[in-house]
Amino acid sequence: MAKPRVFVTHPLFEPAREILNEGCEAEYWAQPDRPPRPELMQRLKDKEGLICLLTERVSEELLRAAPKLRIAANVAVGFDNIDVVACTKRGVVATNTPGVLDETTADFAWTLMMAVARRLGEGEALARSGIWQGWDLDQLVGTDVWGKTLGIVGFGRIGRAMARRASGFQMKVIYTDAVRALVEVEKELKAEFREMNALLAESDFVSVHVPLLPETRGLFDAPKFYRMKPTAFLINTSRGPVVDEAALVAALEEKKIAGAGLDVYENEPFIHSGLKRANVVLAPHLASASLETRTKMACMAAQNVVALFRGQRPPNMLNPEVLEAS
């Protein structure tokens, strides 16, 4: 029997290709640039599976161009690029890669937090500049991370991994979430619940870990920044549109907050020029980018696809009702 045909918008990593090639006939997009939309549609005409990155929108229009498609497997935990409702309507299983990137993402949120607090971006530029004159008492003095208050917005797996790291830094951890964590979890992580406004007023660092949903789009707007301490920093490794970038730029300009560490942007890869300032550390969407984690993510996407074509339930289904209906 012919193997199911799968289009993969990236060459992935060898271990993921091995998983996929066992059960499928995979066609890989190997160009350095992301596949142009018309090309993607063309390639999907005869495919039963798709493995895509978060830069590819799986929309109603794309699904219409892929009449044989049975699964769209995202190589990311965030799936705001996938119209899950449209997938469900067309009987297409959608999957993501939860769990494997939590620690790596939390590591990176900490990287940004420490970099912006300790002015590493500016220090690095100075060290490379050739004009550094040597140690000086008040040179690039930043602010301590240890002993401060860390406010976590979104207390899911990544938010909790963020909290776990704080004890070594003797930080107070507070969090907010639509759903309050179990008392045992709060105890274990030494994290106290706060309503959003209280968290903003109390935190020295506010780290965002919510998914992008209609309710979280623009969550960080001007009133939120006004509630933060003028000495506080915003860290965002979740999704860019959770933060109203124009409001963030205004808050930075008006010194409503002290700075920001950002990995994600409203209109990637565009970065608002107002964010390119000394008190903002910018990264190009790297939070899960360790070889170990990205390999696991790619393998997970491949396993989801292979499982479906073996007649099994893909482990990370976003719309399980698709299989329940059949």
Toward ligand GLV, which CB reaches closer, 77 or 249?
A: 77
Q: How far is the CB of 129 from ligand GLV (least distance, A)?
A: 32
C-alpha span between 281 and 50 (Å, rounded) = 35
**Which positions lie near ligand GLV, rule CB under 6 A?**
54, 76-78, 101, 288
Q: In angstroms, what CA-CA distances link 307 with 28, 176, 310?
A: 19, 36, 5
Mark whether 128 is an active-site residue: no
Helix axes of 157-166 and 102-117: crossing angle, nearest 10 degrees = 50
What residues contact 152, with CB distance under 8 A and at least 6 apart? 159, 162, 163, 173, 174, 175, 176, 191, 207, 209
Toward ligand GLV, which CB reaches closer, 98 or 121?
A: 98
Mark whether 157 is an active-site residue: no
Q: How far is the CB of 28 from ligand GLV (least distance, A)?
A: 20
Which entry of 25, 186, 192, 268 is annotated as an active-site residue?
Answer: 268
CB 57 within 8 A of CB 76: no
Q: How far is the CB of 78 from ligand GLV (least distance, A)?
A: 3
3-class secondary structure, 16:
helix
The secondary structure element, H or E, covering residue 74 is strand 71-74
The secondary structure element, H or E, covering residue 253 is helix 245-253
3-class secondary structure, 177:
coil
Toward ligand GLV, which CB reaches closer, 116 or 301?
A: 301
Toward ligand GLV, which CB reaches closer, 65 or 283?
A: 283
CB neighbour class for 177 (10 Å; exposed up to 12, middle 13-18, buried from 19): middle
Toward ligand GLV, which CB reaches closer, 54 or 208?
A: 54
C-alpha span between 46 and 195 (Å, rounded) = 50
Toward ligand GLV, which CB reaches closer, 76 or 109?
A: 76
Q: How far is the CB of 128 from ligand GLV (least distance, A)?
A: 29
Q: How far apart are the first and last CA of the chain?
A: 22
Q: How far is the CB of 80 from ligand GLV (least distance, A)?
A: 9
Which entry of 5, 272, 285, 313 is annotated as an active-site residue?
Answer: 285
Q: How far is the CB of 239 from ligand GLV (least distance, A)?
A: 7
3-class secondary structure, 301:
helix
3-class secondary structure, 143:
coil
C-alpha span between 168 and 174 (Å, rounded) = 15
Which entry of 239, 245, 266, 294 is annotated as an active-site residue?
Answer: 239
Mark whether 119 is an active-site residue: no
- Known catalytic residues are 239, 268, 285
